[in-house]
Each structure stands twice: as structure tokens, then as C-alpha cells.
Chain A
């Protein structure tokens, strides 16, 4: 029983580590001299080896040991990182993964042949037999020998500014010599405001510079100021591991503050005499900014943990429960608010004040809870590096894969659901969009193609773009194929974007050659469906010969939206607040019928199409004349229309319940929401309604 548990834990841990390992290895290919990265990879392998040995999985630990040996050589610079080594390590990772997975899934077969081959290849790279126990080796990681780390102190005179010299330019000059790892400013000399002379310089700086240049070269930057100011330059390469000051761990906060030049030793002594918590005292005395203390304390703890992030793993189900309870709370709150409307006026005032207060608190609670599910898209994005690498190698294409906006956060469920669609689009881009280097050169393009994955926030939504500079979509080919497949009629007149959208129509496929990766029957229609199920939308932009961009627009979260409750006939609907531009009661003369556009409403200079919700959804309305009802002007993708409703009830948070489980997909509906009175209202999918009514 105990063993079984241990094995389970090992499998989970190893799976996590292997995933990171794969990403780190891909990163390493781009940054072969990144020592911290090599160390990170080594640590991961080392952990897997240790845990495998501990749980009695000697076969795994033996094999990992080989890979670990290879990494150790990289760490000690006896061999350099090259694509072959990355390849061996990636393949080793795959073998380890198979070995780990075979522990619980007997259908997985460990590729024995490949395993032997890998061990052979690894041995080939071994300079000498490194059989000594790795545990006993002191980790002695030399930083890049050519680069040195210098501590530069600028203690400037009060009259410094009188020559017209700008310290910032000096620092910029310094930065050009290499890379500034850290910069601190000492504010202790700044006097009280009434004593402050605007022309004086009260500042001191301390910088940590990593550079290949000599100390003389650094002195040269300060040539003109060195004689009147205290400039000191000291080599501290020894104290650094990677970009990190490893000596911080053993120091007191005060020591670090002095060492960093944020404070002088006498400030610490003075402050200590009053015996209080040092950070608080210094801050109260205005000698340092709170952020400065927080920063060194933070760095110190980082140094102690050597960049290991502390996180608690929480069962996803528990989070799900938390969100559901949250949703129920929102409903109860709305219910309470509806009840107050019918109570006595005075009571109602007080109650509604209390409710308002509760509202803000629930909202912030809600944001906190939702944020626990928000994760950066970066981890998912990085996974595709391997895909791109493998595909481009396979097809002899040269692809520069660029990731942008890795830190953009998105709901975990959304990320999980777009992972496969994105994979499909990336495959498509490489299979069909990007040309071989020869073709590209002939077309006058850079032989290296650009494939970019970009995520960013816009108008309360997350946009994810997959763009390439490949051959672009061929309108004619798409149209012909669509006519051939009976999706459109030859006489149909389609706009450019409508033609592009055809590739997402069910039953469409222009693939002439089915390659190994794409063209397995899963088409863009599945991608489109997946995205729309998330209340998102997908847009295609393309230029023949220039490239293609797929733009996904996704909601930040799936659970709760801010909406406006409207009524048509006996039914209530929710319109998402961020689609609404304005509400208007049109005058009778503003309502017109134009031959090509159908019914329109004039709003200032513009004519907007009118959508009658009761027609689209087949309901019995109370209002048919637009000048008797209300129109809601909505916008999505820069297109605006008016939606006619009977009346507007009010703003409300709506808890979204998925329709899928109980109903079939209804066009124009994004989901259902439970209202305060317990009733259900449908949430309108504005993008679809706009499309339906403009068509």
C-alpha cells in the first residue's frame, strides 16, 4: 500500500519534471551558455534519478544517470551544448517518459533499442568515465570565464550637477559595456524639503555590472568625474552564481542594504539604537523607500531558495467547488437585491446600502477566486516549441518561432481547451503556410520563415494570434474547393473574409497532399467549434504571398460575466456588458427600410442594421414598433448593430451555466445564466447575432 502510494507520487513528480525538462531543453538550444538553465536541467534530471532510486525503479534511475552524466559535463564545460546534444537529451526525455508511463499503463512499450542507442551516444560524448558519486561533488559552477562582475559605486558630490553632467547618461554609458544586473540608489542624503536645494545632487548609486570589458574601460566612463567624486570599482565575480549574488543568503538585511549602497553603515547604527524592526524604522525615517527594503528581503529569500518558487498544489476539483460556491453566492446576492425592491422605502435604503457594500466585497472575493485559476499562457506556448522544431526539421523548413505575451493570464480551463486548436493552427501554418527555404528565396523572402504566437489583453478579452509570413491563403483555390464540395454556390458573391471563413466550414479541406501531421481528419471546423464553445471567436486575415494571421478572441473567464438584463415578450436575456455601446429609443423618423440593407435605424450620422430579437429567436413580442421599445447598440469586431428589445431591466452579474450538457447548441446563444429570482435567462452571443443580421 505504502509502496503503491510512493510510486504514484513518483509518477506525478516525474511527469511534472519531464514536462519542464523538455521546455528547458528547447530553451537551452536558444541560449546554450545560460548556466542557470543548465543547472536547472541538471537538477531536474538529478531529482528524477534520486526519486526513481528511492522508489526502487532502478531501471529508470540507471538510465537517467547516463543523461545526468552528460549534463554534468556540460555543467563543467568539458563539452559545449550543440544541437546533437539537445537532440540526445530530448530523446532521452522521451524514453524516460515512456518508462515512467509504462509504470501505470502496461500498453506503453519502452523502446529498448532506442534506449541502448542513446546510452551509446551519451558514452560517445563522455570525455572520461565520471563514475564518482555526484552527490559528493561540491557544486562549483564557474560563471562564463570571459565575463566578469563588477560592483560600481558612484558617490557623487553635491555640486555634481554644476558641470551639466547627467548621471543617467553615465549609467547608460556603463550599461553599454555589458549588462547591469542590479542598480540601487541611496536616498539618505536627501534633506527635508525646506532645506533641499534643487541644484544640488544628493544621490549615490551602486550598480552591479556584468561585462567582458576590463576595469580600465569602466574607469574610462567616469574619466571626467573621477577626480571630484568618489567612484569605486571592485570586481566581485566570485560572489555571483549566474546573475545571482549567492552571498546574500548568509547576510542580515542591514548588511545587504549597506552593501547595496542603499544605506550607509551609520544610518543602520543610528536606527538600531532605537531598537525596533529595522525595515520599519528606516522607512519611517524616510531613509529608504519601502520598495527598496522589500526588494532586498525578497531577493534574499530568493537567494535562500535558489529561485525555487513556493507553491501549493491544490486539487482542481477543490477550486471548482470554490467557484461554484462563489457563483451561488452571487445568485443569492442578486436575489436579496430583488427582494429589497419590494420592501418599505426606509428599510430598503439601508438595506440597499448594506447590499452595495456587500457587492464590492463579493466582487473582490470573486476576483481573488478567479485569479487562482488564471495562469500565464507561456507554459502552454512553450510546449509548441518542440512541435515547431520537429515539424520544421521533418519538412526541411527553416522556422523562427517567436513567442510574445507569455505572461498574459487566462483561465486554466480556457487554456486547456485552446491548447489543441492552437496546436492545429501551428501545424497548419507549417504544413501549408510556410514555404521551403528555396521557394522563399525565389519569392524574394528571407529563407527563415517567421511564425509568431502572441497573446495580449484587449477590451476585456484575451486575444491570441498565430501568424506566419508564409504563402498566405489562396482565395481562388478556397472558393473552387468550396463550390466543388457544395458549401457555396457558384453564383454566391462572397467578401474576402467570407471566403477565408470557408476553410472553417464543416466538410471543407483544401489539402492536396496529406502530410504526416496535419490532415488527419480534424479540420478547422473543429477548431472553430471549440473556440465558439468557449464564447470566443476566430478571425482570419491573409495576404497572398505575405502570410496569414489567425486571431482568437477569448473571454477572460468562463464562470461569471457582467451583463444587462433585457426583456422580450415573457423572456429575459442577458447581453454581455462589454458588447454594449449605448441604449436608444429611436424617433419614428429614424427608422427606415433600405433596399439592400433591410431595416435600419439612423443613429446620428450612421445607419445601423436593426435586429429584431423576437424574429431571430421566434418569440411573441410586446413591442414591434422600434419607436415604442428600446434599441441596444452593440458592437463586436468593429461591427455595430441595433437590437430591438421590449424593455431593459437592469445591470446584473450572471453566473454562466453551460448549455451543452442539457441542450443542443442554439445559434446566437452563448449560454444560460441563473438570475436572482431563480429564473433562467439566456446569454446572447453578440458576435453571432451580428453576423446573422448583417448576412
Chain B
């Protein structure tokens, strides 16, 4: 059974490129444009076999940003143990810490290469 990864980003380019890279490595991808949508996707896929094994989220997103999203996920008994990776940029280094405080498992600095992405992802789901 292939592993599912949920990707949250408001940029279509990032969503598509992350999706494409991970699909090539055999992951199944769920997509959301912001935190609110992300939570909805999680609820729709809450079955033990449906839920994603990992979440990758951007920080700056409309409606609900990445940090708030992480906090919401960590409150939910069903989803709190899903590792979350935050996507940050060089200019917002402090976001790494904010993400970690909220409960993220790791981070990836944009721009990143496909190899960097898969290298980090496989540290959380195999």
C-alpha cells in the first residue's frame, strides 16, 4: 500500500512540483490550498487506512496559516502523531522555530531540489 502525503500550499507551482516529485517516488498525494482546506481533507480521510502518514505545509497561506494549522492538527487525537514538515524561506528563519514550537517535525527551506525533498520525506515515511 502506498503511503499518503498531504500537501498544503497556496502556490499552485509549489503544490504541483511537490506532488509530481513525491508521486514519482511512489507516494500518494492529497492536496489543499490552505489550513482550512487542509483540515477538511484530513476529516474526509480520517479512516485508519485513509489518513496521510505525513503532512507538508507552507507557512503563509490565506484563511488559516501553517502554524495555526499545525496547532489544530496537534489538538486532534486522531492526527496528532502525523509528522508535519514546514516549508520556509531563507528570509523567515524564525519560522523554523515557530513551526517546531507548534509541533512540526522538521522543515525544508525553499527553494529546494527534488532530491532534498525526497531525502527529507523518507526520513518520516517509508
In the assembled complex, B71 has its CB within 8 A of some CB on chain A: no
A221 and B83 form a contact (CB under 8 A): no
Give A667 to B16 CA distance when docked, in angstroms. 75
Give A166 to B106 CA distance when docked, in angstroms. 12
In the assembled complex, B112 has its CB within 8 A of some CB on chain A: no
Of chain B, the residue at the smallest CB distance from A173 is: B123
B81 and A164 form a contact (CB under 8 A): yes
Inside 8 A of B123's CB, which chain A residues have their CB? 169-170, 173, 221, 224
Q: Which B62-96 residues have C-beta < 8 A from chain A?
A: 74, 80-84
Of chain A, the residue at the smallest CB distance from B126 is: A169
In the assembled complex, B104 has its CB within 8 A of some CB on chain A: yes
Give A162 to B84 CA distance when docked, in angstroms. 10
B81 and A161 form a contact (CB under 8 A): yes
Q: Which A137-176 residues have C-beta < 8 A from chain B?
A: 161-166, 169-170, 172-173
B82 and A164 form a contact (CB under 8 A): yes
Chain A: interface residue total (CB-CB under 8 A): 15
- Counting residue pairs across A and B whose Cβ atoms lie within 8 Å, the total is 42
In the assembled complex, B30 has its CB within 8 A of some CB on chain A: no
CB distance from A231 to the nearest CB of B (A): 14
Inside 8 A of A228's CB, which chain B residues have their CB? 100
Chain B: interface residue total (CB-CB under 8 A): 18
A163 and B83 form a contact (CB under 8 A): yes
Q: Which residue in A161, A162, A169, A223 is a CB contact (below 8 Å) of B124?
A: A169
B124 and A166 form a contact (CB under 8 A): yes
Q: Which residue in B54, B74, B122 is a CB contact (below 8 Å) of A162?
A: B74
CB distance from B59 to the nearest CB of A (A): 16
Interface string of B46-58 (1 = CB under 8 A from A): 0000000010000
Inside 8 A of B74's CB, which chain A residues have their CB? 162
Inside 8 A of B83's CB, which chain A residues have their CB? 163-166
A165 and B105 form a contact (CB under 8 A): yes
Given contacts A162-B80, A164-B82, contact A224 B107 (CB under 8 A): yes
Q: Which B5-28 residues have C-beta < 8 A from chain A?
A: none
A163 and B104 form a contact (CB under 8 A): yes
In the assembled complex, A106 has its CB within 8 A of some CB on chain B: no
In the assembled complex, A227 has its CB within 8 A of some CB on chain B: yes
Give A691 to B81 CA distance when docked, in angstroms. 63
Of chain B, the residue at the smallest CB distance from A223 is: B106
Q: Which residue in B84, B107, B122, B126 is a CB contact (below 8 Å) of A164?
A: B84
CB distance from A456 to the nearest CB of B (A): 30
Q: Which residue in A164, A172, A227 is a CB contact (below 8 Å) of B105?
A: A164
Inside 8 A of A223's CB, which chain B residues have their CB? 106
B126 and A163 form a contact (CB under 8 A): no
Inside 8 A of A173's CB, which chain B residues have their CB? 122-123
Give A164 to B107 CA distance when docked, in angstroms. 13
Inside 8 A of A163's CB, which chain B residues have their CB? 83-84, 103-106
Give A173 to B121 CA distance when docked, in angstroms. 11
Give A449 to B74 CA distance when docked, in angstroms. 57
Inside 8 A of A162's CB, which chain B residues have their CB? 74, 80-81, 103
Give A161 to B80 CA distance when docked, in angstroms. 10
Inside 8 A of B80's CB, which chain A residues have their CB? 162, 164
Inside 8 A of B126's CB, which chain A residues have their CB? 169, 172
Give A173 to B118 CA distance when docked, in angstroms. 12
Give A620 to B45 CA distance when docked, in angstroms. 78
CB distance from B26 to the nearest CB of A (A): 16
Of chain A, the residue at the smallest CB distance from B83 is: A164
Inside 8 A of B103's CB, which chain A residues have their CB? 162-163
Q: Which residue in A169, A170, A227 is a CB contact (below 8 Å) of B100?
A: A227
Give A163 to B123 CA distance when docked, in angstroms. 13
Give A340 to B90 CA distance when docked, in angstroms. 91
Inside 8 A of A224's CB, which chain B residues have their CB? 105-107, 123
Inside 8 A of A169's CB, which chain B residues have their CB? 122-126
A164 and B100 form a contact (CB under 8 A): no
Interface string of A216-256 (1 = CB under 8 A from B): 00000101100110000000000000000000000000000
Give A221 to B74 CA distance when docked, in angstroms. 24
CB distance from A116 to the nearest CB of B (A): 59
Give A395 to B16 CA distance when docked, in angstroms. 59
CB distance from A156 to the nearest CB of B (A): 13
CB distance from B96 to the nearest CB of A (A): 9
CB distance from B97 to the nearest CB of A (A): 9
CB distance from A108 to the nearest CB of B (A): 61
CB distance from A450 to the nearest CB of B (A): 30
B100 and A165 form a contact (CB under 8 A): no
CB distance from B106 to the nearest CB of A (A): 4
Of chain A, the residue at the smallest CB distance from B104 is: A163
Known A162-B81, A165-B124; 17 more pairs at CB < 8 Å: A161-B81, A162-B74, A163-B84, A163-B106, A164-B80, A164-B81, A164-B83, A164-B105, A164-B124, A169-B124, A170-B123, A172-B126, A173-B122, A221-B123, A223-B106, A227-B100, A228-B100
Using a CB–CB cutoff of 8 Å, the interface residues on chain A facing chain B are 161-166, 169-170, 172-173, 221, 223-224, 227-228
Q: List 26 A-B contacts (CB under 8 A).
A: A162-B80, A162-B81, A162-B103, A163-B103, A163-B105, A164-B80, A164-B81, A164-B82, A164-B83, A164-B105, A164-B124, A165-B83, A165-B105, A165-B106, A165-B124, A166-B83, A166-B124, A169-B124, A170-B123, A172-B126, A173-B122, A173-B123, A221-B123, A224-B107, A227-B100, A228-B100
A-B pairs, top 9 by smallest CB distance, nearest first, are: A164-B83, A224-B106, A163-B105, A164-B81, A165-B105, A164-B82, A164-B105, A173-B123, A165-B83
